[in-house]
Structure 1
Amino acid sequence: MKKMLLMSGSKYRTTGYLEHCIPWISRFLADYRGKTVAFVPYAGVSRSYDQYEAAVQQAYESLDMKIISVHRASSAVQAIEQADAIAIGGGNTFCLLNQLYRHNLLEPIRAKVNSGTPYFGWSAGANVAGASIMTTNDMPIVYPPSFEALNLFPAQINPHFISGKIQGHNGESREERLNEFLLVNPKALVYALPEGTALQIRDHKATVLGFDDILRFSGKMDMETIAVNSTFNYE
């Protein structure tokens, strides 16, 4: 059974780093106390992988998990294959996907999660769980071999979703950007996750967690609201 927790971001309003996610992660990994989590830090740009690993270890200290970054292993593939759970952090989605390709990690992660290994990720780490990274909010500061991602969740994810325009901003709103994507990719589905929300996946069902509803866009920007705590079939 596929088990995933896909979180919009690492903070919600005034919370500390990953603080609002701890209750979700605690329930999600209740049977994995003392187990090893392979952490993928490749989305990190403004801090080193060592610093990123330390920040996540500190944030999740209360969970009694051994969080070890794959950058420490002589073989990142082996680190994934031996892990009891997999976590992918946020940052720049293009850097993340580029490194997943470079280290040949897409298929090992996909195989592990499809065989039942828990996966949790936030921001870019949620984005790469989808079909592609084409609905990320990030700048393409590097160019991965492809935009195709893990496709563990066979739709598009847009983390950090904010509706409308900030006063004085003359660029496109998030809705307008997603509309552009759907005009070019009319058969796609996009799940927009506002801050403080997450999707918990159990096999072919998804449950909305958090402090707000999420949105599903399709076709000619047809919008459907999916209420918090509701469960739906996604394939």
Structure 2
Amino acid sequence: MPSPDLLLLSNSTQHGRVYLAHALDTVTGFLSAGARLAFVPYALADHDAYTAKVREALTDSGIAVHGVHEDGDPLAALARADAVFVGGGNSFRLLKALYGTGLRDALIAAARDGLPYMGASAGTNMAAPTLRTTNDMPIVQPPSFETLGLVPFQINPHYLDPDPASTHKGETREERLTEFLEENDVPVLALREGSWLRVQGDRATLGGTRPARLFTRPTPPRELPAGSDLSELLTTRGHFDS
């Protein structure tokens, strides 16, 4: 059976830089020159504009970007591709579209057959077993919270640390993830801006310029420096409460 080949970015845009610039060397190393990249734009409302943005970012790298919506047959577009990129935006909207187009099952099968899968933000959320650790507002209702399950643990992109100087009394991200663990015994990898996870077969590595945090029950969150070997997470056998 082919090994999974995943690049899961916390974010696609870094402050002060153009789209994908902060991770471009990693992205172009993951997507070989001349690759036909199927882009899944459903996390944003304007699919054409979103696809054009990705195309502009990758054209100089020799990567041919094709939106899966452009020819009216997302499944055929995926079948023709050398790799797939699922873009960020609203995770609920994205997942509803994946179910509605049949892409959810097709992406699971393709990735398990070895098709390189790249996600950013909402697209990275899709690689986890469920939608339960997204930061997004549920602007639509997908048929299920079950996502692609390409990794057996949860991911929280765009992780923000608690600000001790803040007067805001709402929940911090740390508190929300702690609440998740009160109901579900599944590790959560919290990716700060500028970090990503690279999975190649049975090896997982934290990439980028910033550390991540790992939330597990019942221990306190643990800091993981960039470059950490996270392969042990791939053997996770978690439990989700219904």
Distance in structure 2 (CA, Å) of the matches to 1:203 and 1:107: 20
Partner of 1:113: helix, strand, or coil?
helix
Please say if residues 179 and 220 of structure 1, whose CA atoms lie closer than 8 Å, have aligned partners that are also in contact: no
- Which whole-Å deviations, capped at 9, do the CAs of 1:177-197 have from their partners, x for residues lacking one? 001111011x21100000000
Q: Partner residue of 2:23? A: 21
Distance in structure 2 (CA, Å) of the matches to 1:126 and 1:61: 23
Structure 1 stretch displaced more, 219-228 or 191-200:
219-228
1:74: how far off?
A: 2.7
Match of 1:7 among 9, 16, 19: 9
Structure 1 stretch displaced more, 130-139 or 223-232:
223-232
TM-score (norm. length: structure 1): 0.94
Q: Partner residue of 1:41? A: 41
- Which whole-Å deviations, capped at 9, do the CAs of 1:182-219 have from their partners, x for residues lacking one? 1011x211000000000001012111111111111111
Matched AA of 1:33: A
1:5: how far off?
A: 0.3
TM-score (norm. length: structure 2): 0.92
Please say if residues 212 and 228 of structure 1, whose CA atoms lie closer than 8 Å, have aligned partners that are also in contact: yes
Segments of structure 2 that go 5 or more residues without pairing to the other structure are 236-242
> Is 1:201 matched up with 2:191?
no
Cα pair distance change 1:13/1:221, threshold 3 Å: farther
- Which whole-Å deviations, capped at 9, do the CAs of 1:55-88 have from their partners, x for residues lacking one? 1111112221110001112321121122110000
How many residues are treated as equivalent by the alignment?
230
Q: Partner residue of 1:90? A: 88
- Which whole-Å deviations, capped at 9, do the CAs of 1:129-183 have from their partners, x for residues lacking one? 1111110000000000001100001111100001103612110000000011110
1:221: how far off?
A: 5.3
1:6: how far off?
A: 0.2
Distance in structure 2 (CA, Å) of the matches to 1:169 and 1:67: 42
Distance in structure 1 (CA, Å) of the matches to 2:81 and 2:71: 12
Identity over aligned pairs, percent = 40
Q: Partner residue of 1:105? A: 103
Matched AA of 2:151: F
Match of 1:128 among 126, 129, 133: 126
Partner of 1:17: helix, strand, or coil?
coil
Q: If each structure's strand is expressed as a fraction of its own residues, which one has the higher value? A: 1
Partner of 1:207: helix, strand, or coil?
strand
Output the aligned Cα RMSD.
1.2
Q: Partner residue of 2:239? A: none
Partner of 1:137: helix, strand, or coil?
coil
